[in-house]
Structure 1
Amino acid sequence: MSDEFGDLLGDCVHCGFCLPTCPTYVLWGEEMDSPRGRIHLMAQHHEGTPLTPEMAGHFDACLGCLACVSSCPSGVRYDRLIDATRAEVERVHPRTRAERALREAVFALFPYPRRLRAVRGPLRLYQATGLGRLVQPVLARLSPALAAMERLAPPLGRARRLPERVAARGERRAVVGMLTGCVQREFFPQVNAATARVLALEGCDVLIPKGQGCCGALSLHSGRTDEARSFARAAIEAFERVDTIVVNSAGCGSAMKEYAELFAEEPEWAERAAALSGRTRDFTEFLAELGPRAERHPLELTVAYHDACHLAHGQGIRAEPRALLRGIPGLEIREVADPDVCCGSAGTYNLFQPEAAAELGDRKAVQVGATRADLLVAANPGCTVQIAAALARGGAPMAVAHPAQVLDASLRGLGAASLVSRPHHEANATVR
């Protein structure tokens, strides 16, 4: 590892301010499953100690939620430390055959929208048959990871492709590109449709490049750095001619804002990557900068707003989504307790570490349920499926929506019932 890595390790003064916000420390109270404990292990390896399976296990158990980055008074860049360490683990740590097979299957599927689209049909058919109750116990015995995949899969409706351009309504105020993502595009097309509608209603021409693919977030945060760069290069080329890129998935937006660091040592891409990072905006961040124009119609409902980790900690965006929601007449926000502790989704974490993820999901579901809100609002697809599954598992299901869907319902005057009375997957997935 580099000298810069060693310098970053030295920034930690082991004060412990990170401990109350670290999900695995909250669960287990183990020092080596806290940020400062992991930094101690990183330092040992950097100084020459071989990477043992036990060390790799502590690094694998980290969610990469970045809550410790927000809580650290010394400005420790744990995000850069854990990304570099994950890459080292992938390079030198020999995984079991089952672990390798699972990881290769996940990364051969989820970052590829066309492959996800190919499994939509069979998955919809499977869901329609109601076989889940029979299959889930079998999967749980065979593989906790496969059981988690089955349990977390959201109900699927029909997915219609978005056009390459959605024209602004009224006088044009901006031209933006829109990332459609992978899981968001294929499993939550209604969120992308709502995003495009809201942007258009607020006076934006929305450009949706046909050839766009994965942004590289899943690979980047799993130590697959070369793979992440490959996806990132394609994203840079797809959006290079767009002045502003609007992203409605917290994890994707965070990764795209990291492109400058991802390509810091590749001179031929560094400038282009940094430029794209600087032009990337979260959906709520962009609308807050743009300012409202379209009329907000009342939505008489209470919402529990969930801070997605890569929005709150990765991008420092907390006030903007709340301000947008508070701008809707009749809507009341109810805060969720311990908002800085992750729900357990964390990209692929709920697939690779299903037991810990389920514990965190159950904990978050209790806190969300305690708000007694009508609707849970979350700005990341992973959080949506994770918390929805935990709420259902706890016997207290709740409707879930993205901020874009809430704004869409208000701007179009659809009323609160459009958000809470229909299954999430049946929400309008077309732009009109």
Structure 2
Amino acid sequence: MSDLLARHRAVMPNWLALYYDEPIEIVSGKGNRVVDASGKSYLDFFAGILTNMIGYDVPEVREAVERQLATGVVHTSTLYLMRGQIELAEKIARLSGIPDAKVFFTNSGTEANETALLLATYARRSDQVLAMRQSYHGRSFGAVGVTSNRAWKNSSLSPLNVHFLHGADRHLTPFRGMSDADYVAACVEDLRHVLSTVVGGDVATLIAEPIQGVGGFTMPPDGLFAAYREVLDAEGVLFISDEVQTGWGRTGSAFFGIQNHGVTPDMMTFAKGLGNGFAVGGVVARGDLMDGLHAVGLSTFGGNPVSMAAANATLDYVLDHDLQANAARTGALIVDGLREAAPRLPIVGDVRGKGLMFALDLVDPATGAPAPALAARFMEETRKAGLLAGKGGLYGNVLRMAPPLTLTVEEAAEGLGIIVDALETVNAEVTS
């Protein structure tokens, strides 16, 4: 493995993050577990960054892909009719709840967000965009412009004129201790103030993650985006919900994350879990917005026949097995267990989550300050115990986890036990 790591470092960029002091190579997977090159098995609680949404080696997905490969047609392009693409678009348009919805497929969430921003700025004839503090929307030029997390922002240059809003930063002193209602009111007042002071004329859109992914699974109170929408509608501002991480029933309480706020956006972007490991992304938008562009367009690989076969099979599996309900059930078991354990663990500053999307903030028990070193230590402990987790957050101190939606009750209990044991070990090291 040291040889492989040396080869990686010789030819891959040094900013390409690798987990663990001794990075692992995953060589096989089945169900909700993977095996590394040394033969060690892990219960996967990060799922390829929320992408292996229904686990590994799923017969329905594998067989759908194999049927497509057997035709000999791995690629055509959007210049030709593609039955699988049309069928998937019909399903997504129906599930979105967006009136007269149309769908455009891309290869990733970054590309999907770029497309949505193009549609919004074109429709509104404005480069002015609102986004949320602590947000992350991708690594391309425009997506970085609407990203508000310094650790992921390589350039201040942007094709957009962006202003950032409050909504997922209740840890800040001005908002700490506020009720949900008071915090929503303060954020809406801030939005009105932004619209009255720092923008010039029409604003194109607000783009927001219902639950911030890279931001550490931080989330506003349910209803914030409904309150925002009232103000935005009065100004004609469009709303893009970035569902790259929150879509397809993961929150348990809604099929798309924004539905927890009682809002139907003008556009939603999606990617990650829909292909269960195959590259797929896209935008579902009001038909007038999607049709509004005057120039000819296409996507060479967007809607690729093999990816469409995988995505159709994955979405059908989610719906046929009611995995949204399973996410609610197993997620509650884990989050409730973490909240029960947290009071005896001073290193745990916060526990939050919806469905199978949950996080822990690790803090210095003496000062309450974010403790990224403790998050890294936790990662080593869970790896040793056979569980893969994720980390992130604005300060690098957040443990974020999102197991496959197929997680069983038994696996949820097993994972919870490993997490609590790891927290107890790290806590004892710090407090002793």
- The interval holding the TM-score normalised by the smaller chain is under 0.3
The structure carrying a bigger strand percent of its residues is 2
**Bigger relative CO (Cα 8 Å, ≥ 6 apart):** 2
